[in-house]
């Protein structure tokens, strides 16, 4: 999916709607619940630096803005096996804005 800057901003806002109930720092569990990916996948994002996160008291905390940065990144768009939730969020966005 090729996104220009305006489309990417709209996509970030769309994904942000799914995270409105989340705090500014999101736990791995809450990130997994919000995105539909497994907790181990989310931890891998943190460990590999795909998502910027803080490691504190034996757990990762992900700034909401950093999660949104990742979800709209080219890397996340190229994930072959997206979670059902991620696919649903993208489909809703495409249905509304018709981006290619």
pLDDT, residue 4, reads: 80
C-beta neighbour count of 81 within 10 angstroms: 8
d(Cα 97, Cα 22) in Å, to the nearest integer? 25
pLDDT tens-digit map of 3-59: 788 888 999 999 999 899 889 999 999 999 999 999 999 999 999 999 999 999 999
Q: Residue 97: is its pLDDT beyond 80?
A: no
Q: Residue 94: is its pLDDT beyond 90?
A: no
Q: Residue 100: is its pLDDT beyond 60?
A: no
Boundaries of every domain in the chain: 5-97
pLDDT, residue 96, reads: 83
pLDDT, residue 82, reads: 92
Domain 5-97: give its CATH code. 1.10.10
Which residues neighbour 36 within 8 Å (Cβ) at sequence distance 6 or greater?
A: 83, 84, 85, 86, 88
Is there a contact between 18 and 89 (Cβ–Cβ < 8 Å)?
yes
pLDDT tens-digit map of 49-92: 999 999 999 999 999 999 999 999 989 888 889 999 999 998 99
Is there a contact between 62 and 28 (Cβ–Cβ < 8 Å)?
yes
Phi and psi based region of residue 70 (left: phi greater than 0; alpha: psi -120 to 50; beta: remaining) = alpha
> What CA–CA distances, in Å, run from 94 to 10, 14, 67, 91?
11, 10, 20, 5
């Amino acid at each position: 999916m090729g996104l220009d800057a305006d489309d990417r901003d709209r996509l970030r806002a769309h994904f942000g709607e799914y995270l409105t109930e989340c705090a500014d720092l999101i736990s791995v569990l809450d990130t997994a619940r919000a995105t539909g990916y497994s907790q181990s996948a989310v931890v891998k994002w943190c460990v590999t630096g795909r998502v910027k996160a803080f490691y504190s008291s034996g757990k990762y905390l992900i700034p909401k803005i950093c999660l949104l940065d990742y979800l709209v990144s080219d890397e996340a768009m190229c994930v072959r096996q997206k979670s059902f939730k991620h696919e649903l969020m993208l489909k809703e966005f495409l249905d509304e804005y018709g981006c290619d």
